[in-house]
Structure 1
Amino acid sequence: MKKVLVLGAGQLARMMDLAGSPLNMDVKAFDVRTNKVVHPLAPELIYGDLTDGINNADVITAEFEHVAHDTLAQCEASGKLLPSSQAIKIGGDRRLEKALLENCQVANAKHVIIDSKADFDKAIAALNLPIIFKSALEGYDGKGQWRLKSAEQAEQIWQEMYDFIAQSQASVPQGIVAEQMVPFERELSLVGARSTTGEIAVYPLTENHHTNGILSVSLAAPVCQSLQTQAHKVFTKLTEKLDYVGILAIEFFQVGEQLLVNEIAPRVHNSGHWTQQGTDTCQFENHLRAICGLPLGNTELNRPTAMINIIGEDSVPTDVLATPSVTMHWYEKEKRAGRKMGHINISGNTQAELAQRLNAVAQLLDPKAFPEVAHFAAQYQENQN
């Protein structure tokens, strides 16, 4: 039995545990809020502190990239951490991320690193409006971002960013990355795995729709093979450069026939939840296979599948389950506005069938709780006609 310790005790650790059980894996989670090792499905069960967790684990991994550096160092010293602490740090710091992309000659948005007011002024001079400013650390789900659309906003945005930097609780200095806004056609992501032996397996490109900065719908359906090949090459470049082990997610902007990397996530990813019903081997199982030295599972798309995020709601109409090939995944969290509470996976044997089912489910959901989902579903169904 392989014993796995996950840094973080949220829904991703929970789903890793569910995927690991059939493989005879014992998955525990380190709750960074309490500094205790807990059971991912029953956090009231405590198994000691981080030192105990490290000693009892065969391999250590992470469910999020914003792990305190001293925690990463302690885990790295054990020789059990996969992916490496450097890979996790890169996913949590946009400055390191941009340096990796440039070093690998991977296309991404034109950008400027900002550490001072002089850098801010330089960025405005070097980039064309509109410009998006992103915090180097602690930025996720649309947080820590500012959009400069006119020169008149500059001073106000600089003051907001200055205050944000001053209030940072991060273990390393906060900073800002200024990016040229990209007029993209759609947002895509690629989730893939690389094993301890260097074996690579990637899932199909996924189309993502965000609402208020948070992923609301992911759609996995056949895409242009040239785009898939392009994304696969980027995945191979980055993971081989990092000697990466585990699941890595890469978010792209599609601009014509070119993919620009938006950001990377060194972990299982929200846009890969559809793999639970759309593939033979879901991302959670393949992450565990990768870090535990097992052969990777099949990542081919079995059937077109979509995922709807459940944000800030602890229930949905039961009629949703009357639609064929609908699977609910609840995280057993306390209801809170903006919180990811669960997700719904929907599959069809064809894109037309998936579109019909996605639209049927969307019509049952509260439009206030699931804004833009019905519009996305209707548009997808119209495209299949």
Structure 2
Amino acid sequence: MNILILGAGQLARMMSLAGAPLNLNVVAYDVGSKKIMHPLTGEVYTTTLEQAIIDADAITAEFEHIPDDVLTLCCNSNKFYPGKAAIKTGGDRALEKALLDKTDVACAPYQLITEKAHLEQAVKSLGKPLVIKTCQAGYDGKGQWRLKSDLEIDKIWSEMADFIASGTEQAPHTIIAEKMIPFDREVSIIGARDIHGNVAIYPLTENEHTDGVLTFSIAGKNNHSVQTQATTAFTKLANELNYVGVLAIEFFDVQGTLLVNEIAPRVHNSGHWTQQGCHCSQFENHMRAVAGLPLGNTELKQITAMINVLGQPSIPADVLKFADVTSHWYGKAPKPGRKMGHINVSADSMNDLADKVGELTEYLPEEQYPGLLKAAANLILH
């Protein structure tokens, strides 16, 4: 069976690895170069996108920001999963908020902004501080502002106005202001839905960020009190979108009540731990879903944490000395802050996991892995 993935980055790479044992032949479309290529070897093919669509039995995506003409072409084939509405919603916070409102899934109070008067109204109606985000083209903490004082309105508006002005009639740029919610932690739910509407949900993941980028994720803690809330939200949203594939939802946990922060219509960084922590990883379940295969077991196999490798030229080989430590490298040219790979660490207990991560930091120093020790202590020991 042939699968075409829109995007040729690390997520396509890991989907390809997961698909191979299922006899799924994967090629990727590099949106930047507009070439069809192999997501593992990097070999570039002479095949056109149009021919790749014809050759594919199913088409999926590794990210949300796909050019509309490409997305439309793929959707017109009736082979594209998770569906155009899901990809559009994941790439536009205004559409995301509309979906949450329609399905009665809770999120922070918000206001859309296209002119300065809207920003001034948001300050009055939502109060300060505000978190302000671009509705399109924002990720990993980019395209965001924090407004804490009325004195900041003019300066922030001038920056926001430039973004709004850069939009077009066909692709307008908008901004959203949200009430800043003091939250106890960020958690995410990863789940899969197949073409028949069957759903398989992974255990809740806790996440820690450094400078707006995910540093550390952990699964295996007792989250029964909020798992049901997350599962209900996932099911509502996935059913409304008639979703097929893996969907990730990030939440703020506010004293036991979950508020949606973001939706990602794809396999997700906070679900990388599933490669070692579960019987069937998020990557395999996504490939199963889009290929029309039965979903795999999402039960926790062992307590597992994921460490992001950001901007480093390699993962130290010494980490492989440790039992239950697995290295995943993406094969990209290093750049500051770029996601280069990840390390999964598994253990029989939280105390054992804390000890392992502590020992690993001997080879993962603070200057190269900022915030790791603190993030691990926050999530494992609290």
TM superposition score normalised by structure 2:
0.97
What's 1:209 paired with?
Answer: 208
What's 1:355 paired with?
Answer: 354
Asked whether the equivalents of residues 205 and 220 of structure 1 are also in contact (C-alpha less than 8 Å), the reply is yes
What's 1:178 paired with?
Answer: 177
What's 1:161 paired with?
Answer: 160
Q: CA deviation at 1:124?
A: 1.3
2:224 aligned with 1:239, yes or no? no
Separation in 1, partners of 2:232, 2:87: 21
Asked whether the equivalents of residues 234 and 249 of structure 2 are also in contact (C-alpha less than 8 Å), the reply is yes
2:43 aligned with 1:44, yes or no? yes
Per-residue CA shift, 1:275-331, capped at 9, x if unaligned? 000000000000011111111000011111000000110123332211211000000
What's 1:224 paired with?
Answer: 223
What's 1:302 paired with?
Answer: 301
- Paired residue type of 1:146: W
Q: CA deviation at 1:166?
A: 2.7
Per-residue CA shift, 1:57-107, capped at 9, x if unaligned? 000000000111111111111110011111100000000000000000111
Asked whether the equivalents of residues 15 and 287 of structure 2 are also in contact (C-alpha less than 8 Å), the reply is yes
What's 1:3 paired with?
Answer: 2
Change in CA separation of 1:346 and 1:171 when aligned onto 2, cut-off 3 Å: farther
- Paired residue type of 1:100: L
2:207 aligned with 1:195, yes or no? no
Change in CA separation of 1:254 and 1:170 when aligned onto 2, cut-off 3 Å: farther
Separation in 1, partners of 2:355, 2:127: 41
What's 2:18 paired with?
Answer: 19
Q: CA deviation at 1:171?
A: 6.1
Is the partner of 1:28 in helix, strand or coil? Answer: strand
Is the partner of 2:29 in helix, strand or coil? Answer: strand
Asked whether the equivalents of residues 245 and 290 of structure 1 are also in contact (C-alpha less than 8 Å), the reply is yes
What's 2:339 paired with?
Answer: 340
What's 2:327 paired with?
Answer: 328
Separation in 1, partners of 2:277, 2:380: 19
Asked whether the equivalents of residues 137 and 175 of structure 1 are also in contact (C-alpha less than 8 Å), the reply is yes
Is the partner of 1:363 in helix, strand or coil? Answer: coil
| Larger CA deviation: 123-132 vs 249-258 | 123-132
Change in CA separation of 1:47 and 1:294 when aligned onto 2, cut-off 3 Å: farther
2:166 aligned with 1:131, yes or no? no
- Paired residue type of 2:35: K
Equivalent pairs: percent with the same residue?
A: 53
What's 1:261 paired with?
Answer: 260
What's 1:372 paired with?
Answer: 371
- Paired residue type of 1:351: M
Change in CA separation of 1:380 and 1:196 when aligned onto 2, cut-off 3 Å: closer
Is the partner of 2:59 in helix, strand or coil? Answer: strand
2:275 aligned with 1:276, yes or no? yes
- Paired residue type of 2:20: S
Per-residue CA shift, 1:90-138, capped at 9, x if unaligned? 0000000000000001110000001111211111111111101100000
Separation in 2, partners of 1:44, 1:169: 35
Is the partner of 2:306 in helix, strand or coil? Answer: strand
Is the partner of 2:209 in helix, strand or coil? Answer: strand
What's 1:116 paired with?
Answer: 115
- Paired residue type of 2:202: Y
Change in CA separation of 1:170 and 1:253 when aligned onto 2, cut-off 3 Å: farther
Separation in 2, partners of 1:42, 1:111: 44
Asked whether the equivalents of residues 60 and 81 of structure 1 are also in contact (C-alpha less than 8 Å), the reply is yes
Asked whether the equivalents of residues 249 and 266 of structure 1 are also in contact (C-alpha less than 8 Å), the reply is yes
- Paired residue type of 2:29: F
Separation in 2, partners of 1:323, 1:49: 45
What's 2:54 paired with?
Answer: 55
Separation in 1, partners of 2:91, 2:293: 27
Per-residue CA shift, 1:143-178, capped at 9, x if unaligned? 000000111111100001112233458961111010
Asked whether the equivalents of residues 69 and 171 of structure 1 are also in contact (C-alpha less than 8 Å), the reply is no
| Larger CA deviation: 314-323 vs 28-37 | 314-323
Q: Write the mapping of 1:288-299 to structure 2, written as runs, cut at 5 A.
A: 288-299=287-298
Q: CA deviation at 1:50?
A: 1.1
**Tell me, which stretches of 5 or more residues in structure 2 are unaligned?**
none
What is the total number of aligned residue pairs between the two structures? 382
TM superposition score normalised by structure 1:
0.97
Separation in 1, partners of 2:38, 2:235: 34
Asked whether the equivalents of residues 196 and 245 of structure 1 are also in contact (C-alpha less than 8 Å), the reply is yes
Q: CA deviation at 1:344?
A: 0.4
Change in CA separation of 1:249 and 1:170 when aligned onto 2, cut-off 3 Å: farther
Change in CA separation of 1:194 and 1:382 when aligned onto 2, cut-off 3 Å: closer
Per-residue CA shift, 1:209-246, capped at 9, x if unaligned? 11111111011113231211110000010011111100
Asked whether the equivalents of residues 216 and 376 of structure 2 are also in contact (C-alpha less than 8 Å), the reply is no
2:69 aligned with 1:70, yes or no? yes
Separation in 2, partners of 1:238, 1:382: 32
Asked whether the equivalents of residues 133 and 179 of structure 1 are also in contact (C-alpha less than 8 Å), the reply is yes
Asked whether the equivalents of residues 350 and 381 of structure 2 are also in contact (C-alpha less than 8 Å), the reply is no
Asked whether the equivalents of residues 334 and 340 of structure 2 are also in contact (C-alpha less than 8 Å), the reply is yes
